[in-house]
Structure 1
Amino acid sequence: MDLNDQWACVRPSAEGVVVSIRLQPNARRSGVKGFWQQSIRIAVGAPPIEGRVNTALLSWLSTQLDVPKNEIRWVRGQHSRDKRLWLPISQRVFIERIRSLLGS
């Protein structure tokens, strides 16, 4: 997968971005693990029980991207590993921050 194809999972939207995420629950360490198909793969330590994994994902994104948790919006996937979220951040800034977390 080419670098531009990887970032196709981050699309500009009205005053923010829509991001496709493949979520890995029950991880030893939370963080960006790379790319999976047309999604960014993110791991969190919470189990997929009673919304805990979604809460952990929103908290992690809020902290790492410096975005208020209450401003992150669900587009789809609250009950799936494949999620799509809208975040109030520019595409450029989102990609820069995720790249720094990937170490590339």
Structure 2
Amino acid sequence: MIELTDHPEGTVVAVVARPGSRRPGVLGERDGALLLAVSAPPDKGKANAALAALLAETLGCKASAVRLIGGPASRRKRFLVEGRSAEAIRDRLRGVLSGGG
């Protein structure tokens, strides 16, 4: 199960990054985190920006609502999704991970 933590501004989502990937997208779940692949290299925040954009697209929210709050130089990251409850995110991820979009 993907780790989702309540936050005063929304929900924190645990993410494992796969930067520099040939096939970007949502790859599934790994060790309690959402596994995301992006083609951007891990250079000067490019991969982090691409991960935030992919997470926003996956969750159906504005890119400005997703912010990196932990792990900027690590593959394991924490993103804050503002204005979304853990329940709403869990429902959306359940649909995405089961192939329902």
TM-score (normalised: structure 1): 0.81
Identity %: 32
Moved more, 37-46 or 65-74: 65-74
Q: CA RMSD in A?
A: 1.6
Task: Tell me which of 62, 65, 80 is aligned to 2:74.
Answer: 80
Amino acid at match of 1:25: P
Matched, 1:25 2:12: no
2:91 is paired with a residue whose SS is helix
Q: Given residue 87 of structure 2, which amino acid in structure 1 is its aligned partner?
A: R
Q: Does residue 10 of the first structure (1) align with residue 4 of the second (2)?
A: yes
CA–CA distance in structure 2, aligned partners of residues 37 and 72 of structure 1 = 22
- Aligned residue pairs total 98
> What's the TM-score once normalised by structure 2's chain length?
0.83
Specify the SS of the correspondent of 2:22.
coil
- Runs of 4+ aligned residues of structure 1 deviating over 3 Å after TM superposition are none
1:3 corresponding residue in structure 2: none
For 2:78 and 2:52, locate their aligned partners in 1 and report how far apart those are by CA, in whole Å: 12
Indicate the structure with greater helix content. 1
Q: Which runs of 5+ in 2 are unaligned?
A: none
Q: Distance in 2 between matches of 1:44 and 1:62?
A: 13
